[in-house]
Amino acid sequence: MRPLLYIGLISGTSRDGVDAALVGFEQPHPIIRAAVCVPYPAALARNLNRMILAGERPDTTAQNEMDMLLADHFSETVRQLLQKAGVSAADITAIGSHGQTIWHQPEGLHPESIQSGDPERIAVQTGIVTVGDFRRADIEAGGQGAPLAPLLHRALFRPTGPAARVVLNLGGIANISIIDNTGAVSGFDTGPANCLLDTWIRKHRNEPFDCDGQWAAGGQVIHSLLEKMLADPYFQQAAPKSTGIEYFNLGWLESFRPEQYSETADVQATLAELTAVSVADSIRPHTPGDVLVCGGGVHNTFLTGRLQQHLQDIPVRSTAEFGLDPDWIEAMLFAWLARVRLAGQTLDTRSITGAAQPVLLGVISSPH
Residue 247, SS3 per DSSP: coil
Q: Which CATH superfamily is domain 149-314 in?
A: ATPase, nucleotide binding domain (3.30.420.40)
Residues 6+ apart with CB under 8 A from 288: 163, 164, 165, 166, 178, 314
What radius of gyration do the chain's Cα atoms show?
20
Q: In the chain, what are the helix, strand and coil shares in percent, each to the nearest 5?
A: 45, 20, 35
Alpha helices in 54-109 (DSSP H): 60-85
pLDDT tens digits, residue range 237-273? Answer: 999 999 999 899 999 999 999 999 999 999 999 999 9
The answer to whether the beta carbons of residues 99 and 42 sit under 8 Å apart is no
The phi and psi torsions of 283 (rounded to 5 degrees) equal -80, -40
Matching CATH topology for 5-145+328-365 and 149-314?
Answer: yes
Q: What is the mean pLDDT of the chain?
A: 95
Residue 264: name the closest of 200, 214, 213 by CA: 200
| pLDDT at site 149 | 96
| pLDDT at site 3 | 65
The answer to whether the beta carbons of residues 334 and 10 sit under 8 Å apart is yes
Biggest CA–CA distance in the chain, Å, is 65
The phi and psi torsions of 31 (rounded to 5 degrees) equal -125, 130
Which uninterrupted H or E stretch holds 152? helix 149-157
Of the ranges 9-13, 135-139, 251-255, 298-302, which one carries the lowest mean pLDDT score? 9-13
SS (H, E, C) 210-242: CHHHHHHHCCCCCHHHHHHHHCCHHHHCCCCCC
Is the full-model pTM beyond 0.75?
A: yes
| pLDDT at site 14 | 74
Residue 286 CB neighbours (<10 A):
17
Out of 3.40.50.300, 3.40.50.2020, 3.30.420.40, 3.40.109.10, the CATH code matching 5-145+328-365 is 3.30.420.40
What's the rounded mean pLDDT across residues 313-339? Answer: 96
Tell me 257's DSSP state: -
Q: Domain boundaries in the chain?
A: 5-145+328-365, 149-314
Residue 170: name the closest of 278, 76, 260, 90 by CA: 278
| pLDDT at site 28 | 82
Work out the pLDDT band at 108, boundaries 50, 70, 90.
Answer: confident
The answer to whether the beta carbons of residues 144 and 138 sit under 8 Å apart is yes
Q: What is the Cα 124 distance to its own chain's centre?
A: 26
Query: Nearest 5 degrees, angle CA 31-CA 171-CA 290?
Result: 70
| Distance (Å, whole) CA 233 – CA 266 | 24
The phi and psi torsions of 294 (rounded to 5 degrees) equal -135, 175
pLDDT tops 90 at residue 343: yes
